[in-house]
């Protein structure tokens, strides 16, 4: 279920002239019966609401006074979300004969045209207050207090993300909370500015519009409108002047290609965009490569296997993303771990709506066709990213839910064809493409268009997919850096950045400068390490003809240390 909560304005939305019709109450009851939460978001004071609305207990939370007061009907607890304005503020307004004048627990309210006197008084007393309008009503509140801030406080109590809420309203002060909802709806009698910015507008006005929305919500979770609500789409890159975007919900992405071909650029770009948009993610990280994933908490390390309860507890807070590090688990234990963890994660996604995205790296470890029988009982379509070298190594059950394929490396057409064969779908004809670094061949398989060459938007987070491999692993004999010197008399091999720095510190000046002046260091960083930023910075050092030998060593070492988390090792013997 995508929309776990319905947030409603009261006056002008649920209510007509302050009264809510019985048929609207019945519709709200059906929302609760469907397992969803109800949040009332109103500018009224709680006392005024009690006087006019006898069905307060229908709601899980009431946001009163335009976001300043939170009330939980189940236990009748009132929580102030802002400081109470000083009494002298109300006294001064009364002295100026501002009428009508209503003071709640926090809010101070009147009607047009008294806003000028309210502003003058705020200025005279030097108060940190703001004015909000609701058609003819004028409300003074502490700065930063809006219906949006109040709704977010209610969602925090429920452990629900704003991305799992549909909101409905009609007036100026509703704008703030509607823009925070995944789906915003304007009733037919809304102000033009609300209709202009809402995702949907009902045919009916007031309560009839609310009923109309509720019926569509209960029938199919607003699935009929998924294709029309595009403001939450996630951008990945561009092609031919167009943007490559994918849905933020119910979307499956496969990133496939050989090692060191650019899968990291794509996956970390996705994480960055998800984080910026406020979507929560959980990464399954078999190799410990996501230490720099944005705004994330890592569970597990080389010595300690991750605990499922720890992961789920952290994910309760929708502001926290989790990287599940599997280095502490032997390869043979990783599929059973995933099999025990995945149903609990799916249950959380079903009941809480988050984490919104699941990213599974080295997915063949856990989603191999061997696990088809077990997967069919727990796998559910949702928003996910699968990253692997070879699509053949992924269960066809999982591949059938893929919407977008991003193929990277030297032969992306072959990768897409392998995927298509696995799901028994033909790929529209396209020319053979040789990709440059930072490009991918993208195929949106449900559009039936040919695959497109895409420039993947680079991440600003300096994501380095094979961080450990580059730092202290082994890039392979053929791809290693060899310090040979001007006469080729040496053959000192650096198979990772740690050894590169250690050899660079002790190699003779002639050998160091020979490679420096040839631009060999920046070329290796670009071609093998696949770090164009490090390569460009190093190239600038290489171009300095008068730089001292030791200074160039120190600067290049500093660049590497700044960008990579390097382990602490005892001294390493250098072998030719």
The answer on pLDDT for 34 being more than 60 is: yes
The residues with which 384 forms a beta bridge, in sequence order, are 252, 358
For the chain, domains (ranges, CATH) are 1-78+147-229 (3.40.50.1000), 82-144 (3.90.1070), 234-456 (3.40.50.300), 467-563 (no CATH)
Q: Please list the alpha-helical segments (H only) found in 473-548.
A: 497-506, 509-518, 520-527, 532-542
Q: CB-hemisphere CA count at 13 Å for 541?
A: 26
Band (147; pLDDT cuts 50, 70, 90): very high
CA distance 341 to 305: 13
Give the pLDDT of residue 374: 61
Q: CB-hemisphere CA count at 13 Å for 314?
A: 19
Tens digits of residue pLDDT in 249-297: 989 999 999 887 888 878 988 999 999 899 999 999 998 889 889 999 9
Q: Residues 155, 157, 161, CA angle at the centre, nearest 5°?
A: 30
Tens digits of residue pLDDT in 335-363: 889 888 998 999 999 889 999 999 999 99
Give the pLDDT of residue 378: 62
63 C-beta neighbours (distance < 10 Å), count: 29
355 C-beta neighbours (distance < 10 Å), count: 26
Q: How far is CA 284 from CA 10, 345, 392, 404, in A?
A: 43, 12, 20, 20
The answer on pLDDT for 573 being more than 90 is: no
Q: Which of 272-286, 291-305, 397-411, 454-468 has the lowest mean pLDDT?
A: 454-468
Q: Which of 63-72, 254-263, 295-304 has the lowest mean pLDDT?
A: 254-263
CA distance 200 to 150: 23
Q: Are 404 and 255 in contact (CB under 8 A)?
A: no
320 C-beta neighbours (distance < 10 Å), count: 15
Tens digits of residue pLDDT in 497-556: 888 888 898 889 999 999 999 999 999 998 888 787 788 999 999 999 889 999 999 999
- 232 or 161, which is more confident? 161
Give the pLDDT of residue 463: 42
Band (469; pLDDT cuts 50, 70, 90): low
The model carries a pTM of 0.75
Instruction: Answer whether the bond into residue 306 is a cis peptide, omega within 30°.
Output: no
- Provide the token pair at 320: 């926290």
Q: Are 201 and 182 in contact (CB under 8 A)?
A: no
CA distance 94 to 90: 6
DSSP 11: B
Q: Which of 184-198, 298-312, 350-364, 521-535 has the lowest mean pLDDT?
A: 521-535
Q: Which of 70-79, 118-127, 230-239 has the lowest mean pLDDT?
A: 230-239
Band (465; pLDDT cuts 50, 70, 90): very low
Give the pLDDT of residue 458: 66
- Provide the token pair at 306: 């991750």
From the list 86, 133, 87, the residue with the least C-alpha distance to 112 is 133
- Give the total residue count for the chain: 576
The answer on pLDDT for 177 being more than 90 is: yes
Expressed in angstroms, the distance from the first to the final Cα of the chain is: 60
Give the pLDDT of residue 372: 65
The answer on pLDDT for 175 being more than 80 is: yes
Band (166; pLDDT cuts 50, 70, 90): very high
DSSP 493: E
Band (472; pLDDT cuts 50, 70, 90): low
Q: How far is CA 430 from CA 101, 321, 376, in A?
A: 70, 38, 33
The owner of tokens 């209960």 is 218
Q: Are 291 and 310 in contact (CB under 8 A)?
A: no
Q: What share of the chain is helix, strand, coil (3-state, %, to 5)?
A: 40, 20, 40
| CA quadruple 431, 434, 435, 436: dihedral sign | negative
Across the range 409-428, mean pLDDT stands at: 91
Average pLDDT over the chain reads: 89
Give the pLDDT of residue 238: 82
- 7 or 379, which is more confident? 7
Q: What is the 3-state secondary structure (H, E, C) of 155-193?
A: HHHHCCCHHHEEEEECCHHHHHHHHHCCEEEECCCCCHH
Across the range 105-117, mean pLDDT stands at: 92
Antiparallel, parallel or unpaired: β 383-388 and 252-256? parallel
**Percent of the chain predicted with pLDDT > 70:** 93
Give the pLDDT of residue 446: 86
Give the burial class of 262: count Cβ atoms within 10 A of its Cβ; 0-12 exposed, 13-18 middle, 19 or more buried: buried
DSSP structure string for 439-474: EEEEEETTTTPPPEEEEEPPPTT---TTHHHHHHS-
Q: Which of 84-93, 137-146, 251-260, 567-576 has the lowest mean pLDDT?
A: 567-576
Q: What is the 3-state secondary structure (H, E, C) of 289-343?
A: CCCCCCCEEEECCCCCCCCHHHHHHHHCCCCCEEEEECCCCCHHHHHHHHHHHHH
Band (60; pLDDT cuts 50, 70, 90): very high
Across the range 104-129, mean pLDDT stands at: 91
Give the pLDDT of residue 570: 31
Q: How far is CA 54 from CA 22, 58, 301, in A?
A: 11, 9, 54
Tens digits of residue pLDDT in 200-254: 999 999 999 999 999 999 999 999 988 788 888 888 888 887 888 888 998 999 9
CA 284 to chain centre: 16
CA distance 251 to 222: 16
The owner of tokens 């919104």 is 356
From the list 239, 264, 229, 207, the residue with the least C-alpha distance to 27 is 207
Q: Are 15 and 49 in contact (CB under 8 A)?
A: no
């Amino acid at each position: 279920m995508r929309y776990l909560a319905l947030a409603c304005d009261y006056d002008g939305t649920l209510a007509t002239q302050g009264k809510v019709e019985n048929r609207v109450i019945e519709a709200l009851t059906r929302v609760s019966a469907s397992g969803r939460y109800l949040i009332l978001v109103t500018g009224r004071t709680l006392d005024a609401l009690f006087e006019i609305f006898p069905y307060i207990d229908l709601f899980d939370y009431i946001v009163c006074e335009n976001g300043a007061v939170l009330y939980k009907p189940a236990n009748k607890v009132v929580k102030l979300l802002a400081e109470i304005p000083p009494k002298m503020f109300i006294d001064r307004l009364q002295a100026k004969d501002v009428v009508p004048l209503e003071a709640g627990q926090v809010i101070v309210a009147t009607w047009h045209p008294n806003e000028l006197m309210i502003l003058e008084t705020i200025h005279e007393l030097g108060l940190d207050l703001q004015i909000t309008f609701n058609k003819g009503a004028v409300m003074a509140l502490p700065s930063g207090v809006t219906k949006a801030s109040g709704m977010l406080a209610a969602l925090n109590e429920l452990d629900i993300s704003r991305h799992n809420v549909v909101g409905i309203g009609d007036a100026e002060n509703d704008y703030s909370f509607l823009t925070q909802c995944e789906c915003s709806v304007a009733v037919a009698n809304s102000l033009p500015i609300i209709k202009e910015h809402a995702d949907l507008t009902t045919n009916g006005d007031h309560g009839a519009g609310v009923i109309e929305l509720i019926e569509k919500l209960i029938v199919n979770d607003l699935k009929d409108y998924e294709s029309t609500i595009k403001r939450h789409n996630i951008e990945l890159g561009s092609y031919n002047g167009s943007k490559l975007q994918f849905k933020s919900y119910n979307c499956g992405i496969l990133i496939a290609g050989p090692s060191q071909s650019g899968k990291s650029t794509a996956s970390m770009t996705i994480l960055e965009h998800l984080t910026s948009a406020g979507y929560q993610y959980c990464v399954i990280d078999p190799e410990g490569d996501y230490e720099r994933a944005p705004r994330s908490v890592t569970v597990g390390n080389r010595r300690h296997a991750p605990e499922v309860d720890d992961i789920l507890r952290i994910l309760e807070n929708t502001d926290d993303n989790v990287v599940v590090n599997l280095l502490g688990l032997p390869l043979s234990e990783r599929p059973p771990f995933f099999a025990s963890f995945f149903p609990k994660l799916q249950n959380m996604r079903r009941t809480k709506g988050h984490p919104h995205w699941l990213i599974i790296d080295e997915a063949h470890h856990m989603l191999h066709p061997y696990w088809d029988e077990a997967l069919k009982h727990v796998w559910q379509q949702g928003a996910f990213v699968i990253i692997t070298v070879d699509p053949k190594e992924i269960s066809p059950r999982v591949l059938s839910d893929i919407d977008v394929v991003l193929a990277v490396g030297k032969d992306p057409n072959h990768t897409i064809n392998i995927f298509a064969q696995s799901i028994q779908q033909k790929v529209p004809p396209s020319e053979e493409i040789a990709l440059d670094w930072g490009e991918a061949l993208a195929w949106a398989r449900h559009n039936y268009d040919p695959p497109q060459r895409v420039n993947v938007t680079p991440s600003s987070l300096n994501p380095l997919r094979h961080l450990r491999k580059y730092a202290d692993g082994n890039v392979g004999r053929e791809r290693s850096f060899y310090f040979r010197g001007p006469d080729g008399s040496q053959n000192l091999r650096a198979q990772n950045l740690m050894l590169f720095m250690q050899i660079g510190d002790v190699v003779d000046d002639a050998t160091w400068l020979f490679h420096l002046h040839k631009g060999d260091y920046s070329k290796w960083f670009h071609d093998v390490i696949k770090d164009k930023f490090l390569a460009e910075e190093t190239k600038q050092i290489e171009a300095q003809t008068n730089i001292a030998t030791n200074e160039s060593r120190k600067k290049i070492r500093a660049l590497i240390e700044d960008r990579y988390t390097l382990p602490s090792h005892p001294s390493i013997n250098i072998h030719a």
